[in-house]
A and B are shown apart, each in its own frame.
Chain A
Amino acid sequence: MAFDWHALSIPVDLPEVVDQISYERVVMNAAATWDYFPGHFDPEYAKRQGHPTIFVNTMHLAGFVDRVVTDWAGPYSRVVRRKIALMGSIYAGDTMIGRGMATAKRCNTSGSKPQYLIDLEIGVSNQRGELCCPAEVTLEVLEP
């Protein structure tokens, strides 16, 4: 069923998204983003910098936050703003858990056509319940 912005009641919780991050995924992270900072592929380097092992980069966390919101709102939605704070790292072997809530909806009428927007608060935690990456997202939903 198509996502209906007009019928959406606020606030509403989003379904939880869980993703296990293996070494393969962290290496894939470097390859997919072309970000070869050694903390993303070299465990010895990461340990010398005070980390337990290699960790995913900002783009991977941003992509996961985006997935949490567009999995919920569907493919006629698009992230138009995202603010994230990197409070803790997600390491190889960790589980990423995305939870969130839609906190507001509004229609921006300042442009040539109305923009149907939803504001959300998302948190990415690890398997120990530590909040690694709080995020604010604004999503645009196209009119069906």
Chain B
Amino acid sequence: MADEISYKYAFGTYEDALKMVGVRTESRVAGTVVSGARIQHFAALVHDGNPAYWNLDFATRVWGGLLAPPGLLMGWLIPQPWFPDGVRPTAGIAIRVPLPGKTFVNASNEAEFLIPVVEGDRLSVVEEVMSVSPEKTTKLGVGHFIQTLDTFLRDDGAVVALNRNTLFRFDPASSARGS
């Protein structure tokens, strides 16, 4: 079913996964700076008329520039889905934890926004695997919960946000029943 996977998963056992707990990635820098176009497309998606996203004069006076919507935090470090050199995009560290599950769904997320991020900031992220749960059964299927911590930095080294995410990597209940 490789055609179902657009991001490269690592497969392995729970014991393999536990070896990744505590692993921190090298800092990964966003390919482009925080842009007004993406700020406003996200605000349009959410139907959010906050002038911090739309009114440059207001946003500059109050926040120092068009404000990056806090909800878009993770999006600044998602790579483009295609590159001209043919290199596949790097999936987040949670996907690279080796486990049996063929798919995933996000379970929870906690973010702290320490410093406002504004248009023109160049962000980077350091990702860390905090924990991998033993096998759990949910209504979706059987799998493992993976907790990660992303530290987002500005290019002057300031930590702007912390993002703790829990993802459920699982085999859907229907396929687990052998259908």
Contacts and interface: CB of A to CB of B under 8 A. Distances in A.
Given A61-B71, A63-B69, A65-B71, 10 more contacts: A29-B45, A35-B78, A36-B6, A45-B4, A58-B109, A71-B48, A78-B52, A82-B111, A86-B107, A86-B109
Interface stretch (B16-24, B36-44, B120-128, B129-137): B36-44
B50 A33 contact: no
Contact of A81 (B79, B107, B111): B111
How many interface residues does chain A have, given as a range?
35 or more
B108 A84 contact: yes
A63 B48 contact: yes
Majority DSSP secondary structure for residues of B touching A: mixed
A80 B45 contact: no
Interface in B26-65: 38, 41-42, 44-52, 58, 62-63
Nearest to A34: B78
How many interface residues does chain B have, given as a range?
35 or more
Contacts of B174: 48, 50
A36 B76 CA distance: 14
Contacts of A50: 140-141, 172-174
Contacts of B80: 34
Contacts of A60: 45-46, 71
Nearest to A82: B111
A64 B46 contact: yes
Contacts of B79: 34
A62 interface: yes
Contact of B4 (A36, A38, A58, A142): A38
Contacts of B69: 63, 66
